[in-house]
Structure 1
Amino acid sequence: MILIFSDNNDRTTIEVIRWLVALSKDFILVNDDEFFDIKVDKKRFFLQSQKNSFFLDDIQSVWYRRGGLFFKRYQYSNNSINIYMNETQHWLEDYILKTLESKKHINKQSNSHVNKLLVLEYAQNIELNVPEYFLAENTDEVILSKTITKAITGNASLDNISDNKDGMLYTSIIDKKEKESFFISFFQEKIEKDFEIRTFYLNGECYSMAIFSQNDDQTKTDFRKYNNEKPNRNIRYNLPKDIEVKIQKLMQMLDLNCGSLDFIKSGDLYYFLEVNPVGQFANVAYHCNYPLFKKIADYL
């Protein structure tokens, strides 16, 4: 049995499931709004939600796409008992999660979010080119028009910023000084790019796409500001073998066997920007005709 963790209506998950159905494979899809009870049936762990139920030892492979395995917590009126109950439930949950991660898997719930600062340090240690970066509480040392700022987290977004719409925190060029100090923020050298590269990594293999975002004012700083009326040109791309070897080293250091990595090509140099273990890669599959969905299904 294959266990899949994902968000509701994630298109990438749906494409992989189509292949699992075509291959006649049994699977369970757990969405991020499910909470499970832990039960024991004849010494076997049994997990049950309103939508799904399964024995832990029936799971043979796991794909952590997004979301995760979440548990119901039992509470009693006696606080002394609650302390014991919480500790007991914690260790039961820990056992279940670690057991699932010990099985054949694509990514893990425990390291689905990486620390960007550590990732950049690791990348520098294996001699990937990384644009100069620093943290600051003001713009005193910022070189205007030659410095960008972006979130320290992954793809950060703000809910309900206006008219009940979601908002994405995009990469921005600093073109003026701020008078006031602010919370610690991430700044990085602005690299003049030839084009961007999105690389999908799976079990030692790299599948790359060149994104010609610099030709459009709307997308040239952050290609995620998609221009639907005039989309960027996207084509297959082969990274140099030494870069692919370094990618594999980086992913091994992060204990990841899957993820999306972003690069910039500038002249003869390739600059590493970041890795997202749960990043989107459907566009890489669609635009470049890579069989990524089937490869995931085959591995599971």
Structure 2
Amino acid sequence: MILIITHKEDFTADFVIEKLNKRNIKYFRLNCEDIHTDIYNFENENDFHFNINGISNFTSVWFRRTKLPEIISNNEAEKLYLLSDYETLFDNIYNLIDTEKWLSNPQYIFKAENKLLQLKIAKSIGFIIPQTLITNSHKELKSFIDKFQNNIIIKPIRQGRIRQKEGFETIFTNKLSLDNIKTINEFDLTPCIFQEYVDKEYEIRVTVIGEKVFSAKINSQISNETKIDWRKEKMPFEKYELPKDISEKCILITKKLQLSFGAIDLIKKLNGEYVFLEINPNGQWAWLETELDLKISDEIINYLTLK
């Protein structure tokens, strides 16, 4: 049986579960925010194997998303204490599920979210990467900006979303404006990534599942809105065939990060070179399957069910 670790608003999980239902494949969907209403236990006589609602024979795990339960309490300290305990409970669940078949194991996902680690590994296996700087030194940043003649982008060091009252706001990759550059000393340099701006022919999204690679390109340079960050405007993707050596590097970096899944962003330069930007160890992909009929969900199911 497949264990799917997610939450109620994960529509990508819904996408795969619909296929599991059609194929009569057994699964248990653990919506993390409901963990306090499920019946779970770990028992030493059963070697502390995780059991939920009487089920413990999980042959594989698809780790998608998590969300903590809603704690109703007027005592903020008590609420934070209980939420911390639930986080620890989930850590125990991840470590004590009796299977080695994960897509992907959260301990490796959390480590792989380190963008500097990604870049270091990408460079070590032969990917071209942008010149990159993280610093809180105005002097170092000015030197970096001068080196690339003011042609610099800035992006988040971690995730690019801020929770607002009305929902989440995305922080996109942006170019440093000349006004920003002229007044750089007036800014506090908080942790973020500065990189040389790379001129593009187009951009590529690569989805890796085990040894399988699915790739699609987006002509991001035809719109001013999407030249820096293609997520700023909905544009169509096209099926794309990666060169064999680039495809192999995409599989290799996923393995080096001990992942079974990776969503990789690449740039195709005007001179034909491919540049690695980053890998999202648990990125979205359902829109690519819907638009281009890429068999990503089938490959996820194959990975989770084949021995």
CA drift at 1:45: 4.6
Q: Which residue of 1 aligns with 2:303?
A: 299
Contact 1:12 1:293 in 2 (8 A): no
- 1:11 equivalent in alignment to 2:7: no
1:179 to 179, 182, 185: 185
Instruction: State the alpha-carbon separation in 2 of the partners of residues 234 and 256 from structure 1.
Output: 25
- 1:211 equivalent in alignment to 2:211: no
Give secondary structure in 1 for the equivalent of 2:216.
strand
Cα pair distance change 1:41/1:261, threshold 3 Å: same
What does the per-residue CA deviation read over 1:117-148, in whole Å, with 9 as the maximum and x for residues that have no partner? 01101100111010111112234232465110
CA drift at 1:68: 7.5
Q: Which residue of 2 aligns with 1:222?
A: 229
Aligned length: 272
Q: Which residue of 2 aligns with 1:65?
A: 64
Give secondary structure in 2 for the equivalent of 1:245.
helix
Q: Percent identity?
A: 28
Contact 2:157 2:191 in 1 (8 A): no
Alignment map for 1:274-289 (pairs within 5 Å): 274-289=278-293
What does the per-residue CA deviation read over 1:189-214, in whole Å, with 9 as the maximum and x for residues that have no partner? 10110100000000111100001111
What does the per-residue CA deviation read over 1:241-276, in whole Å, with 9 as the maximum and x for residues that have no partner? 011111222111100111100000012100000001
Cα pair distance change 1:166/1:98, threshold 3 Å: closer
Q: TM-score, with normalisation over the residues of structure 1?
A: 0.82
Q: TM-score, with normalisation over the residues of structure 2?
A: 0.80
From the two aligned structures, give the one with the greater strand fraction.
1
Give the letter for the 2:226 counterpart: T
1:259 to 250, 258, 262: 262
Q: Which residue of 1 aligns with 2:26?
A: 26
Q: Which residue of 2 aligns with 1:110?
A: 107
Instruction: State the alpha-carbon separation in 2 of the partners of residues 276 and 260 from structure 1.
Output: 5
Q: Where does structure 1 lack aligned partners over 5 or more consecutive residues?
A: 73-85
Instruction: State the alpha-carbon separation in 2 of the partners of residues 101 and 69 from structure 1.
Output: 23
Instruction: State the alpha-carbon separation in 2 of the partners of residues 28 and 119 from structure 1.
Output: 32
Q: Where does structure 2 lack aligned partners over 5 or more consecutive residues?
A: 72-84
Instruction: State the alpha-carbon separation in 1 of the partners of residues 4 and 45 from structure 2.
Output: 25
Alignment map for 1:150-189 (pairs within 5 Å): 150-153=155-158, 155-160=159-164, 164-176=166-178, 177=181, 178-180=184-186, 181-189=188-196
Give the letter for the 1:183 counterpart: T
From the two aligned structures, give the one with the greater helix fraction.
2
